[in-house]
Structure 1
Amino acid sequence: MISAAFLGVAAAVQALPSSDGAIEAVGAEVGAAMARRNWREAQAKLNLLPLNLLATPDVQFVQAFLARRLGRTDEAIDLYQRMLDSDGALLRVRLELADTFLEAGDDRAAEHNYRLALASTPPPIVRERVEARLKTIAERRRWRYSFSLAVAPDTNVNAATDARELRIFGLPFELSDEARRTSGVSLSTMASAERTVPLRGSTRLAIGGWGSFTDNEREAFDDGALGVRAGPQFWVASVRMDVQAVANRRWFGGEGLSTTAGVQTEMQWGWGRSQRHAMLAVQHLDYDVGRSRDAWIYSAAWDRTRFLSATRFWRLTLAANRADADEDAESFWLGRLSTGVYQTLPAGLAIWVEPSVERRAYDAPSVFGDKARRDTELALSARLLKRDWRWRGFSPYVGAEKSRNASNLDINDFTRLRVEFGATRTF
């Protein structure tokens, strides 16, 4: 690594049309200091180079190398990302960026960049190294966590109809403000954490929790939930399986709404350019008030992520749910299909665009109508992330989601536009 960094300085010096003996001497002194592992001296000598030379990719690479040795991780990340902004296909820079994230304990960002590196079709020896790093990340016993915070103007915070009245058995009833579309601004936070502990052989105990809270202008629409999960984690070659007991508690409008508990099984496999994930779950939903909506919820989901290049990947997700409630009118089938594309852009930007369709069909009409509810919701979401603006692993983003729910019942027919301004540790 040290000799390669020195060669980078030497190559940059030789490429300068105005190179002179003094500049070449500085390059030699930098290389000599690095050979002695005197990183501070090497940095001081490097700073003597002209500004136009300091701005070249080769010298920036050496600067990032020295920043890592001097413990200035954020500076190194910034330098690597600047180089990749100019050319996202720089495989060695991508790998060094991923290694730096790994050193900093940001496993999510490290994994993301390792997978982008694999999409650059590296030599076999490099591929083996990257796949080994990915497995190391997956098997780490450390805490893993994520957090996001967003301010979101929303044209329909309660996902309700525009209609002012509802007809029940032919008679008109005026809807309350809470039952009609309400716009507003909300503050949303989401967080999760997980820890794995070795048990025996390739078996581990995985323990985790999560929380999400939305504080709306109107307290009646405040929404919050907390969840925990725990269970064994098994490894068979490159396949990871989790079997966990799960439970969560939800509040709405400042009051308790429901409790859910059950069992969930997940599988994840694939270390190369493609990664797959599958989930099966059985849970019981228990509402605080009334029993008609209490239900057994059966869920299944599958997704596939494919890294196409060092700057792009896509994801396909399929999901299905069955709610078997105490009353047929509250029982339903639900299916969802979505596909998203991630693309890096100039100026340190990246974009994620995801269209989706969701279909919900209830078993029987409610007591207030003669038709069983049938909904089809179409949505398009997008998120623009400023990747090179980072603070403790967080980057700012702006996102938007436009949705249209078409229902055979007027009260469930609505449109919605939600915009977010926030910061996150994930894309």
Structure 2
Amino acid sequence: MPSFILLRRCFAVSLVPGLLVLCFLHGTIRAQPAAPAPGLPAPIRPLEPEQPFLPQPQSPTPSIVHRQPAQPAQPQVELTDQDLARDVKLTEMILNQAMLQEDWDTLRRIMRFYPWMRGVDSILRDYVQGALLRHDGRLAEAIMLYRRLVEQHPDLDYVRLELATMLMEDRQFRQSDAELALLRQRPLESAAQRSIVLYRQALAQQRRWDFRLGAGLAYNNNVNSANRDRIFYLPLAVGEWTFWAPFAKGRDELPKSDWGLKYAGGASVERNIAGHHYYTVSADIDGVAYETERDYSDRSLTLRGGYKWQNFDTWFAATPQIGQIWMGGGRYSHNRGLSMEYGWRPTQAWQLMGSWLWLKRKYDDQDYAAYDGHLDIMSLTAVRIFSPSLLAFGSLGLQRESVAASEYSYRFPWLQAGVVKTFGNTLGARVSARYGRQSYDAPYALFLNQKRRDRELRIDVSLWAPGFKIAGLEPKLNVSYLKITSNLPIYERDRTEVSLMFEKKF
């Protein structure tokens, strides 16, 4: 049967690109070359370009050139679409050759008339149509067509293998593994069986917990987030006159600097329930323990668990969470809330994301009861992939906190932009900047009923050497700078933190 010959021959050619497309790209939002080892499709978030990029179809030619297996001196035979439409066997032979060469332009042209020819091979017709749908990014339609094909012809093992790889691309991992388990029992070629084993190993890896650990030395030149002015001026109103009374600030009211041990850790798992449905569970802890200013040492723990829906270019997640913060060795505040996220990848070069986080926060010390309330953070983010070693991103966000004391409630719209760049195995860098304006709801009675208005600038830089490790740990240098200016000078402050972290993921 012509289609059977096609499927067996096409497998040998398409298998290797399939492995490359399904390489598992993991990590945080880094732009770095994908590893060539076979694995699962790249997680949608963060976006990384998939490989290989299929060649663009060439411009249509007035006819299809068919080279006869004769001596080179003999002339070429030129066939038109009308010639092929009268010869189904010749048309199927060219379809087979075009599939082997991944000549999408020729396949698309022939499929304009081949399905309506007399005596067509229905298996070949559906197989080529499914390949074109897959190439055009219409993965759901290609999967539906291939499913119907293997239901009608259960012996088409190589079509079933293509179906299993498409299910992996579409992140239907449980269904993909079921198809691979069935193929494992079939007498396929050794290359196909090796690929099946690799795919199933990648699927098993996807179900495992991911762990990350990090620790290092950090320096902060303002651990207490204090204003640097040594004199505090308090406005006093006397009739129509305003006097500024100076007060000398004590040492505790000035910025304090210190070194400390910074640490972070986390564990997460994401497992396919059925179809595109997943459940997710994670736990994260991070903090810093200062050597001298121990009252400002902090630690936070967050537990999350929720639902996620995803396919090859879209995802949505709803995740409840709870958290606890410790400060200076004692309980400081706790929270509970919900995060919702949506992401869409219109092309390989772009990803768009939207997120919303709602937290109900309560302080454990009654002295801070005025700050009890809830926090909302909404953001829209766009990521642009320029190459495997370069990406840029931009975000627009709004943070709103409503607390018991309205003079501490505020709105904080902000803009953020950043870039991630790797220079081979020599250097990797991530640079981002955020700017926003913070507006408080109610006037401050202490400052003659003025409403507080802050402007905030934050710059973050991370540097690392891709692939360089010490005892299995990846060193990373981080620098963070925060500058806040205010119409109420007492709230102006700046802070610089430098840390050298050693991280490991497993």
| Pairwise same-fold verdict (TM > 0.5) | yes
- Deviations along 1:238-282, one digit per CA (max 9) or x if unpaired, are 322111211111111222111111222112232722223221122
- How many Å apart are 1:349 and its aligned residue? 1.0
Q: Given that residues 116 and 311 in structure 1 are in contact (C-alpha distance below 8 angstroms), is that contact kept between their aligned partners in structure 2?
A: no
Match of 2:370 in 1: 292
Structure 1 distance, partners of 2:471, 2:417, is 30
Residue in structure 2 matching 1:165, options 216, 231, 252? 231
Could you tell me which runs of 5 or more consecutive residues in structure 1 were left unpaired when the two chains were aligned.
1-87
| Stretch moving more, 233-242 or 212-221 | 233-242
Question: SS of the counterpart of 2:371?
Answer: coil
Structure 2 distance, partners of 1:393, 1:303, is 33
Q: Given that residues 165 and 175 in structure 1 are in contact (C-alpha distance below 8 angstroms), is that contact kept between their aligned partners in structure 2?
A: yes
- How many Å apart are 1:131 and its aligned residue? 11
Q: Which amino acid aligns with 1:273?
A: A
- How many Å apart are 1:214 and its aligned residue? 1.0
Match of 1:99 in 2: 37
- Deviations along 1:34-69, one digit per CA (max 9) or x if unpaired, are xxxxxxxxxxxxxxxxxxxxxxxxxxxxxxxxxxxx
- How many Å apart are 1:393 and its aligned residue? 6.4
- How many Å apart are 1:387 and its aligned residue? 0.8
- How many Å apart are 1:133 and its aligned residue? 5.6
Structure 2 distance, partners of 1:356, 1:285, is 24
Residue in structure 1 matching 2:342, options 248, 255, 267? 267
Could you tell me which runs of 5 or more consecutive residues in structure 2 were left unpaired when the two chains were aligned.
1-30, 57-101, 103-133, 138-164, 174-201, 237-244
Match of 2:6 in 1: none
Alpha carbons of 1:347 and 1:245: their partners in 2 closer, same or farther (altered >3 Å)?
closer
* Greater C-alpha Rg: 2
- How many Å apart are 1:225 and its aligned residue? 0.6
Structure 2 distance, partners of 1:312, 1:207, is 31
- How many Å apart are 1:150 and its aligned residue? 3.0
- Deviations along 1:286-324, one digit per CA (max 9) or x if unpaired, are 112232111121221222221101321111122211111
Q: Which amino acid aligns with 1:378?
A: L
Match of 1:11 in 2: none
Match of 1:281 in 2: 357
Q: Counterparts of 1:67-146 in structure 2 under 5 Å? A: 94-95=33-34, 97-99=35-37, 102=39, 115-116=48-49, 118=51, 121-123=53-55, 135=171, 140-146=206-212
* TM-score, scaled to structure 2: 0.58
Q: Which amino acid aligns with 1:292?
A: A
Q: Which amino acid aligns with 1:206?
A: T
Residue in structure 1 matching 2:218, options 144, 152, 162? 152
Provide the aligned length of Structure 1 versus Structure 2: 329
Alpha carbons of 1:176 and 1:131: their partners in 2 closer, same or farther (altered >3 Å)?
farther
Q: Given that residues 42 and 48 in structure 2 are in contact (C-alpha distance below 8 angstroms), is that contact kept between their aligned partners in structure 1?
A: no
Structure 1 distance, partners of 2:415, 2:54, is 33
Q: Given that residues 166 and 411 in structure 1 are in contact (C-alpha distance below 8 angstroms), is that contact kept between their aligned partners in structure 2?
A: yes
Question: SS of the counterpart of 2:48?
Answer: helix
Q: Given that residues 154 and 183 in structure 1 are in contact (C-alpha distance below 8 angstroms), is that contact kept between their aligned partners in structure 2?
A: yes
Match of 2:326 in 1: 251
- How many Å apart are 1:346 and its aligned residue? 5.3
Question: SS of the counterpart of 1:292?
Answer: helix
Structure 2 distance, partners of 1:315, 1:394, is 27
- Deviations along 1:182-228, one digit per CA (max 9) or x if unpaired, are 11222211222222344444322211111111112310110111011
Structure 2 distance, partners of 1:342, 1:236, is 26
Q: Given that residues 381 and 396 in structure 2 are in contact (C-alpha distance below 8 angstroms), is that contact kept between their aligned partners in structure 1?
A: yes
Structure 1 distance, partners of 2:283, 2:447, is 40
- Deviations along 1:389-425, one digit per CA (max 9) or x if unpaired, are 1358642122222332111122221222222212235
Structure 2 distance, partners of 1:417, 1:260, is 27
* TM-score, scaled to structure 1: 0.67
| Stretch moving more, 256-265 or 364-373 | 364-373
Q: Which amino acid aligns with 1:283?
A: L
